[in-house]
Amino acid sequence: MFSPPDEHPVDRAVREYLEREAARVDAPTLLARMRANRPAAVNVGALTRRAWLRGAALGTGGALAAGAALYFVLGGTGPVEPKMLSATELIREAKNAHETEKLDRCYDVSADWDATPFQRRFPFRPIAKKAKLWTRGDQFFVESTFADGLPVKWGQEKSGRVWILPKPDRVLVYEPDDLAEPLARFCEMMSLRLVSTLAGMLETYDLKQETAGPDEPIRIAAELRGNPNSSLPRISKVAIELDPKTKIVRKAVLTRTINGDTLGSIEFTLLETAAPDKIKYDYPAHAAAKHLVIDGPRPPLLPPAQRFDPRHDPRAKFRDDWLKTWQNRSAPKT
């Protein structure tokens, strides 16, 4: 890459950083994905990749599917048989249903982790095999218990703020911009944001719908596009079951992989729907009446480089103790 002799030191550092990032890009895979979506004639106008996909779907789906797709593109709202909709449209409807409905839903959460790749990759063991999740949109809270029955809760408020109750009278609060590792990874692994998950399915997964009757649950399997051997812990597969009328998620199974190894799968099964405004996602509704809030470093603001330094974060010790306690109490008895 071009490197002028009078290059500013910051520019040089940025350039070297970008060069290292470029070396990690898998260009042949990117090209293969583009080839797979490339139309027969490229110079047909400024078609985007998604437009090509839509075109391919219309071409192979026949007049019926084309009619249904056009109907939805034009904003139609009348009754359409589920079998006429593509998997993408069904997931879009499910996302809209969860986004717009103001109801709180409770899911039973059951995790089946494979300990070997998990322990090789993460500073914590697979924990929380059973839990109960309340969610509305991307808000949620999770209730679980240690092996000895001690309750544990954490959640995310509407603002994106994450809270943890290591004890009922103590709250660790993380604003959206200060949730750092290892907690970010822990929350990412152990919870479900339905709206985000459905949005992710629309954007970066290949969707396949199982055939079903008009009143049977709609089952859609989603597989992540791109490199399956990524060193990032990805949700590689999602199997989802939708209510045929409301398009609400009845069941979801998320399979997580890292470097091609399966870390485990988490199954979410709809248990109940609560009356409006009964469920609260803000931490005061879950903490003891008298509780101590421990939040991040506040003004005077620290220099950016020190913001995530545990020595300046009063929550770090509590957070680490909490993660450690959870592991110890969740560990299988030998």
Partner 1 sequence: MAAGASVHELDDWVLATAPRVTAYARSLLGNVHEAEDIVQDCYCRLIAKAGTYDLKRDGLKLLFTAISNACINWKTRRKPTFSLTRSDPTGDSRTEDPADVRAASPAEVAVGNELERAIAEGLKQLPAQQRAAVELKALGYAQAEIAAMLGITASHAGVLIHRARQTLSQYLNPHSAEG
Q: Which is nearer to partner 1, 214 or 228 (CB)?
A: 228
Q: Which residue in 67, 200, 297, 314 binds partner 1 (CB under 8 A)? A: 200
Q: Which is nearer to partner 1, 38 or 64 (CB)?
A: 38
Q: Is 1 in the site for partner 1 (CB under 8 A)?
A: yes
Report whether 237 contacts 224 (CB < 8 A): yes
Give the binding range for partner 1 (CB under 8 A) out of 18-26, 68-76, 242-250, 279-287. Answer: 18-26
Q: Is 12 in the site for partner 1 (CB under 8 A)?
A: yes
Give the binding range for partner 1 (CB under 8 A) out of 65-73, 143-151, 198-206, 319-327. Answer: 198-206
Give the binding range for partner 1 (CB under 8 A) out of 106-114, 157-165, 242-250, 318-326. Answer: 157-165
Cα(39)–Cα(48) distance, integer angstroms:
11
Q: Is 56 in the site for partner 1 (CB under 8 A)?
A: no
**Backbone φ and ψ of 145, nearest 5°:** -135, 150
**Look-up: residue for tokens 């959460």?**
109
Report whether 161 contacts 315 (CB < 8 A): no
Q: Which residue in 135, 156, 209, 257 binds partner 1 (CB under 8 A)? A: 156
- For 142, residues 6+ apart whose C-beta sits below 8 A from its C-beta are 109, 128, 131, 132, 133, 153, 154, 155, 190, 191
Within residues 261-280, the interface with partner 1 by CB under 8 A covers none
**Backbone φ and ψ of 329, nearest 5°:** -75, -20
- Residue 14 has which token pair? 């940025």
Q: Is 78 in the site for partner 1 (CB under 8 A)?
A: no
Give the binding range for partner 1 (CB under 8 A) out of 37-45, 87-95, 208-216, 275-283. Answer: 37-45
Q: Is 310 in the site for partner 1 (CB under 8 A)?
A: no
Give the binding range for partner 1 (CB under 8 A) out of 23-31, 77-85, 88-96, 102-110. Answer: 23-31
Least Å from the CB of residue 281 to partner 1: 12
Q: Is 301 in the site for partner 1 (CB under 8 A)?
A: no
Strand ranges in the chain using DSSP code E only, listed in sequence order: 105-113, 130-136, 139-145, 151-156, 162-167, 170-174, 205-209, 218-224, 234-242, 249-258, 261-273, 292-294
Q: Which residue in 5, 6, 34, 207 binds partner 1 (CB under 8 A)? A: 34
Cα(330)–Cα(147) distance, integer angstroms:
5
Q: Is 61 in the site for partner 1 (CB under 8 A)?
A: no
Q: Which residue in 127, 128, 133, 179 binds partner 1 (CB under 8 A)? A: 179
Which 3 state secondary structure label does DSSP give 162? Answer: strand
